[in-house]
Chain A
Amino acid sequence: MDQIIRDKIKQVKKGDQAAFSDVVEYYQHKIYQHCYRMLGNAHEAEDMAQEAFIRAYVNIDSFDDGRKFSTWLYRIATNLTIDRIRKRKPDFFLDAEIKGTEGLDMYSQLASTYISPSDKVEGIELQRYIHHEISELPPKYRSIIILRYIEEFSLQEISEILDIPLGTVKTRIHRGREALRKRLRHV
């Protein structure tokens, strides 16, 4: 798959816009999920994930072919979500109703997004709880926890994605794990 993506990127660099749709198709769920976990709600997640792909396309010439495209794409998405979190109005809170989904708060929308009716109630509750606790972490820990345990990147890859030293990644993941341990210990 890496080779296919590499070839597609080459085509995109030559100006073949259509080749980019295969790249989006391949990464859409990963990038959307990353934004969703970072931001905690579907509306912002879709906006930012869309924006991440558009920025990747516009800046494709600055992507170094010798590196992993996914690393580069995740970096764009992570930076966008962190920017968005910073720019949020202070009154933004998770239970806020999301535009266009009257009557659904973030939790019920989350449930409808990815939980099938056959799941046990505890399962649904637990998923919501975990999601909520992740989104309560400070963004610099949140991004690392998500990349490590939900998207399963190695610490070295995370250091490349976030462009921070490996030692810093380790310090932050320790703190992130401790913070979550306190929140999830009673579950």
Chain B
Amino acid sequence: MNAHSESIALMHKYLDGDLNKTEEQKLQGHLEDCEDCQAHLRELKRTITLLQSAEHIKAPANFTDKVMNNLPKEKKRMIYKRWVKSHPFIVAAAVFFIFMLGGMFTDWNQDSQLVVSKQENLIIQGDTVIVPEGVVVEGDLLVKNGNLIIEGVIDGDVTIVNGELIESTSLDGEGLMASVGEINGELQTVNRMFDWLWYQIKSFFSGVFSTD
């Protein structure tokens, strides 16, 4: 390798930032004496400047849309996921109905036993629940698959599912007698499947939107 080609090799190392001190001095020394190599380095630097001055080119309009339209179809799972994300309310309602349908048949068909939400101080005779006189039920009362006789007081809402409120006590054989009990809340009687469903929906949403 002659002095010029060695010097040119060093120029390229210099342009890549790879020169060590010794090499730098060697290149310096040669350039001071060699006009050809000075010109060579100048031309290299100018070439780089020209390249760097090349203007930046932009992609044509609608480039992104074109790419997106040509992608293979995305997995269904994700479309569903994203739809869920942008329609939270509809999805909540739909999911609720699905659960409801499942739950409803279980509740309605398989469960025909008497259910009472609280039993303290209540009398249960067969399929009839009695709130005796003088008894105060604090809070809501739910009776399912049975009737309710209120002689005492219920301090809350009453829901009777698949049964009814017996307004008079005819069980003791003393004939019709006005019920003396009272409900300090709302009474709901739910006797059909869709009433039951509606009841569930209402309680679901009042749960969802309650502020406390």
Contacts and interface: CB of A to CB of B under 8 A. Distances in A.
> What secondary structure prevails in chain B residues at the interface with A?
helix
Nearest to B40: A181
Residue picked from B59, B60, B66, B82, most chain A C-beta under 10 Å? B59
A108 interface: no
Given A28-B59, A28-B64, A184-B46, A177 B15 contact: yes
A29 B78 contact: no
Nearest to A49: B59
Contact of B16 (A114, A115, A170): A170
Given A14-B78, A28-B63, A177 B68 contact: no
A74 interface: no
B128 to A, nearest CB: 57
Interface stretch (A51-59, A76-84, A87-95): A51-59
Contact of B68 (A21, A130, A150): A21
Interface in A10-38: 14-18, 20-21, 24-25, 28-29, 31-33, 36-37
B55 A50 contact: no
B82 A18 contact: yes
A174 interface: yes
A115 B55 contact: yes
Contact of A114 (B18, B57, B70, B72): B57
Interface residues of A, number: 46
A17 B63 contact: no
A120 interface: no
A172 to B, nearest CB: 11
A24 B51 contact: no
Given A155-B16, A180-B51, A32 B44 contact: no
> What secondary structure prevails in chain A residues at the interface with B?
helix
B58 interface: yes
A111 to B, nearest CB: 10
Interface in B45-69: 46-48, 50-60, 63-64, 66-68
Nearest to A173: B16
B77 A21 contact: no
Contacts of B74: 15-17
B87 interface: no
A155 B53 CA distance: 19
Contact of B59 (A29, A173, A187): A29
A115 to B, nearest CB: 7
A57 B66 CA distance: 14
Contact of B78 (A17, A37, A50, A178): A17
B57 A33 contact: yes
A161 interface: no
Contacts of B58: 29, 32-33, 113-114
A187 B46 CA distance: 9
Contacts of A16: 74, 78, 81-82
Interface in B26-56: 40, 43-44, 46-48, 50-56
Interface of A: 14-18, 20-21, 24-25, 28-29, 31-33, 36-37, 42, 46, 49-50, 53-54, 57-58, 113-115, 126-127, 130-131, 134, 145, 149-150, 155, 170, 173-174, 177-178, 180-181, 184-185, 187
5 contacts: A24-B63, A46-B63, A54-B71, A58-B72, A127-B54
Which 9 A/B pairs are nearest by Cβ-Cβ distance?
A: A32-B59, A17-B74, A149-B51, A15-B78, A174-B12, A28-B59, A33-B57, A24-B64, A53-B67
